[in-house]
Amino acid sequence: MKRDGKVLWERALGWSHDLPTVHEVPKWRKVWASVKPSPNYVDDVYLELPRSSTILRGVIFLIGVPGLLFLFGMALYLYWDLLYDDWRHDWLMNLSLVIIGPALLWVLIPDIKLDLVAPRDEPIRFNRLRQKIYIYEFRYDRIFIFSRKRWGVKPVAYNWDDVTAEVYRVYAPGHGGLIENVMLSIRNPETNEVIDRVFFTHNLYQGEAYWAIARLFMQQGPEALPEFVHPPRDWNDDDGLSHMHCLAPKVDWPEHMDRESRTGPSEGDTQ
């Protein structure tokens, strides 16, 4: 299967193992009640878990903008040197820098843009009555940096039974060593092929906690959930958020999906 013209592999690079399936009853750990941030909202119909594709919002912007200006200035200088100076004495070095400068710019710009335009929260709603999940998904493309079509919020909905939680482990020197992310993959029930894969959490502890919370809710309802140590928060409320978070776009579900994700199926509704 393909998503946006791209083939999705059975397992992405760095796959380690899958978390328990949606039908397995969670073996609850008391420490998971302290997960932070706690669920945004829960009632008899749906559970909403927070999610953010950026770890330290604003850091990339604060570091990247000076770097971007430096690279831009370096590129201008090299082009000037290439056109008007005696660059032929060291033409290979100059040519390499002329190529490397724009390449680094193209690598840096997507990260800076992502830090500015990604929503302050990218929640996932688990609707128990419909047995579906609704993902406030933000898509971006590092190649087509200025494409409106490839950048932006594109919420999606999938059947709960088709979801798998996957653990990915990558060793990244200089970034804390071992990085463990959790992704959610969605399979076509007819072909068992992966049709989508979305980010879930930045670490395994939070991923296991959120996945257990979601399974408990979808299997047994809100009464099965513990009393969470940390209170829920409204991410559209600026109170307590950093300046960079406050500049980020607020969560704004499409009206039809917002209504569907917060309600159960009516009589005769085919979902």
Q: Give the pLDDT of residue 32.
A: 94
Strand ranges in the chain using DSSP code E only, listed in sequence order? 2-3, 6-7, 15-18, 41-42, 46-49, 124-127, 132-135, 138-139, 152-153, 156-159, 163-172, 177-187, 194-201
Q: Give the pLDDT of residue 1.
A: 42
Closest to 180 in 3D by CA, of 198, 166, 167, 199 = 167
Q: Give the pLDDT of residue 4.
A: 53
What does the domain layout of the chain look like in residue ranges? 2-53+120-261, 60-117
| pTM, to two decimals | 0.81
Chunk the chain into consecutive blocks of 10 residues (it has 271) and report each block's average pLDDT, rounded to whole numbers.
Answer: 57 91 94 95 97 72 64 67 59 60 70 83 97 95 82 95 95 69 94 93 95 98 95 89 81 96 76 55
Q: Give the pLDDT of residue 84.
A: 63
pLDDT in tens, 28-82: 999 999 999 999 999 999 999 999 887 666 566 566 566 667 666 766 666 666 6
Q: Give the pLDDT of residue 9.
A: 78
Q: Which residues contact 123 (CB under 8 A, 6 or more apart)?
A: 40, 48, 49, 50, 51, 136, 235, 251
CA angle 98, 101, 106 (to 5 degrees): 130
CA-to-CA dists, residue 154 to 34, 115, 193, 252, angstroms: 31, 18, 21, 11
CB 244 within 8 A of CB 61: yes
